[in-house]
Chains A and B, each alone.
Chain A
Amino acid sequence: EAGVAQSPRYKIIEKRQSVAFWCNPISGHATLYWYQQILGQGPKLLIQFQNNGVVDDSQLPKDRFSAERLKGVDSTLKIQPAKLEDSAVYLCASSSAGGRGRALETQYFGPGTRLLVL
């Protein structure tokens, strides 16, 4: 079974530039998550999709971050414009279940995209 794929693996940009990350979840997984992991911290959930609908985006800085999951499969996360504090690893994960009030099933994580903003 193929795992969660993410690209690019690394990205270096200057502040105020734009950047986009791509995630392809495990086939058949309805739920997709984007996390931000700053060095030395645990991952912080940015947005959760159930199929192509947003379940939770309460911690997404909506003035500069956006995400979409067209057709309920692949997803893109965009930052525009980037700030220095956005330097982090962006992790994508998927699971076969989810939704509000449901017990968490095992999440499968991709390798992440390491972003450095100069």
Chain B
Amino acid sequence: KQEVTQIPAALSVPEGENLVLNCSFTDSAIYNLQWFRQDPGKGLTSLLLIQSSQREQTSGRLNASLDKSSGRSTLYIAASQPGDSATYLCAVNRDDKIIFGKGTRLHILP
């Protein structure tokens, strides 16, 4: 059974710092992995999608890496801003079943 774990559960960092969010999954046979952002009281916004054949994807200040063999992905946020405060979720897809982690609650201190 696929399990997705995100560490840490919560994180507070001063504005301007670079930070890394971690995601691990137990079954490496995935089609792809996706990182989402969720703001309080709102739905999810897709940030980056990494296909199983890829090792990383970049969008602006965000960079996501995937090491399928070790069952790990990281989301790197450069030069953090208060507007980055949100919950970040990763999700893996295998056999058309999408499994989410519980998320990391990120708070950027002004």
Contacts and interface: CB of A to CB of B under 8 A. Distances in A.
User: Chain B: interface secondary structure?
Assistant: strand
A106 B44 contact: no
Given A106-B49, A107-B46, A44 B34 contact: no
B22 to A, nearest CB: 15
Interface string B29-46: 001101010000111111
B55 interface: no
B89 interface: yes
A101 B95 contact: yes
A117 interface: no
A87 to B, nearest CB: 15
A110 B43 contact: yes
Contacts of B28: none
Nearest to A106: B46
B98 A91 contact: no
User: Chain A: interface secondary structure?
Assistant: loop
A111 B41 CA distance: 7
Contacts of B32: 103-104
Contacts of A114: 41
Interface residues of B, number: 24
A103 B31 contact: yes
B93 A104 contact: yes
B89 A109 contact: no
A55 B93 CA distance: 14
Interface string A92-118: 010000111111111111111010000
Contacts of A91: 43-44
Given A56-B97, A104-B49, A105-B49, 12 more contacts: A41-B102, A42-B4, A44-B100, A45-B97, A45-B98, A91-B43, A100-B95, A101-B96, A104-B31, A104-B96, A104-B98, A110-B43
